Amino acid sequence: MQEIIYKITDPRGIHARPAGQLVKLIKEYKSTCQLGSATNLVDGKHLLSVMKLSLQQGDSLTLQFSGADEKEAADAVLKFLQENL
């Protein structure tokens, strides 16, 4: 399992557009991804669930990847988060 914990810096938080981009990227990998706040993780490949987290600036986003390409998935998603959120 690969885990990322990332603090959201974008003042808009994870609204519709970044949620869509994030889910699209996660879907490119075979590994499963659970993401959310530490106490509420949802399927990272399910757009409506990811949007519903409505994470805001300052919130911590936890992502857990499991599967054959978990390292690649975690690296790519961390890069996306750093560049966009």
Task: Catalogue the active-site residues.
Answer: 15
Closer to other proteins by CB, 45 or 69: give it.
45
* Contact pick of 7, 15, 30, 79 for other proteins (by CB under 8 A): 15
Q: Least distance (Å) from other proteins to the CB of residue 55?
A: 12
For position 17 contacting other proteins by CB under 8 A, the verdict is yes
Per CB under 8 A, contacts with other proteins among 18-77 are: 20-21, 24, 47-48, 51-52, 54
Instruction: Tell whether the torsion through CA atoms of 10, 52, 29 and 41 is positive or negative.
Output: positive
Q: Which residues bind other proteins (CB under 8 A)?
A: 12, 15-17, 20-21, 24, 47-48, 51-52, 54
